[in-house]
Chains A and B, each alone.
Chain A
Amino acid sequence: MLRRFRLEEPQSVAEVSELLGRFGESAKIYAGGTELLLAMKEGLVQYERLINVKKLTDLAAVKVAGGSVEIGALCTHHQLEDSPALKEKLPALVKLEQNVANVRVRQAGTLGGNLCFAEPHADPGTLLIALGAKMVAAKASSKREVTAENFLVDAYETSLEPDEVLTTINVPVPGPNGRSAYLKFGYLERPSVGVAVAFNLNGSVSGMRIAVGCAGPAPRRVPEAEALLEGKSKEEAVGRIAEAGAIAGKASQAISDLHGSQEYKEHIVGVLLKRAFQSALS
């Protein structure tokens, strides 16, 4: 059962920001509701008002502009798994979206909502960090860009200010030598561990980015593991991948919970990093 709340239905980002500023913590943005409504039904959170942002239809489109894919925050997972532009430019993200939860969650849930809710066991943040995505956070009369890793601060916590709205997720289009992959593993409904890699392969590995998610409170880059593979030939990098995996496991901030023990998750990080790297190479 949901407790009674009031519904606001603004038509612009400025109005949303104004409502957030006016009602503070008693109001929350509502988009797909796949996470929010569950938490509200459980009584974990309670709001006097929900601000339905689905009338901001401008934010439900994917555009390719100037070397970036601009994903509107209101795009649903289903829209993204089906997007021709994304299939061409960011196939690793399409594959991730095809495997988010189940068909009903993908139908309702939005990418922006997923990121703003910052549930630790979510898939997209990890790959978006590896791909170097930037989030556009807007207020009534200003906007700023935040990197994905600086956006996802902690479990259920983002760096959005109270009256800021996530409008767009800008993902740089990988170059012709760009390689990327995201792999996850879990035995419950949500993943225990997710690992993403993105790099260029042109004789050697460059621009190596590795991100680990789900294991700990928020997805994180692993610069020490990246450095180990940076500038190496394919063969050298493959030879060092187990060491990189061990470093990434330790850096994952894995916690012991229903999804597995800390040691187990750290081990799986290594396994997934190896497989993700191999999958990106092939």
Chain B
Amino acid sequence: MYYLDIKNRCSMPRYKPGIENKGLIFLLPAFLIIVFIYVNPIIRMFLFSLEEWRYLRPEGFNNFDNYLDLLKSRHFYTTLLNNVIIILGVVPVVVVIALSFAQAIFSKIPGYRLYTFLFFIPVVLPDIVVARILTEILNKAGPVNSFFKTIGLGFLAQDWLGDYRYALFTIIISLIWKNIGFALVLFLARLTTVDRSIYEAAEIDGAKSVQKYFYITLPLLSSTISLYIVLQVIGLMAFLFNYIHVMTAGGPGYSSTVLEYFIYLNIFKLQEIGRGSAAGVILITITMIFVYYYLLMRHRASKAANKEALSQNKISKSW
């Protein structure tokens, strides 16, 4: 039974003292396991970042020397910049392409089912598989360059993954290809929940397709787009390891190294545990800012949905 207060409270079961506390107790074991698995490594990483390390052995706290070391490293800034470039290169392109195709598929253009299927194939493939396939295809002696040479466009046959001018650009293209499908499905799902009567009313008022798109579709999709952007940014900050490791190993030099890979290089290659952990703390901090923003947006979206429900005068029931 739900109680809907006309004074704008969220719909909730009526409060009965005592029940909630008992529920929490039952949740405690699971909560402790989650804290141990998720929170413990983060705390340990923070502690590692404050220690001096020699041959994988801690030798006491060195205050924030690892962070200072990092901030003096130009390669650290290169990796941060690479992350920013990837985000700015992938997100807008994916959103624009996915929106366009979502609208087209929603309008049921000929072959719309085939397009949905084709766009979704990269989504279901594991990242490693995608990275490996693209590495083979984009190799300097691979089929893409062979094709360009065959059709007389030999100047396009570049070392896509081995040249510092193109490595990051190639990674960006790969990520766009991989991520369009998910965005497309997300936007399409939102479009299907839109009340068609709004479009009909707009048509009656003489609105053109472009006007309907910009004044009805996009505003209705705005919350979904915002949520998607935040999720995508989190993914592009913290889930690129597979691509970088398989396709370029972060090279040439640091031209395609991102912060996540920089952490791996420091810890496993250079065995600079302190500096690598410091970079990990920075990565988590940046990611948590976006996660917080994502949760805030979810909360606001939830509040907005409740307001909408109230304004449409839903039936209220009382105990």
Whether chain B is bound by chain A comes out as no
Residues of A within 8 A of B (CB): none
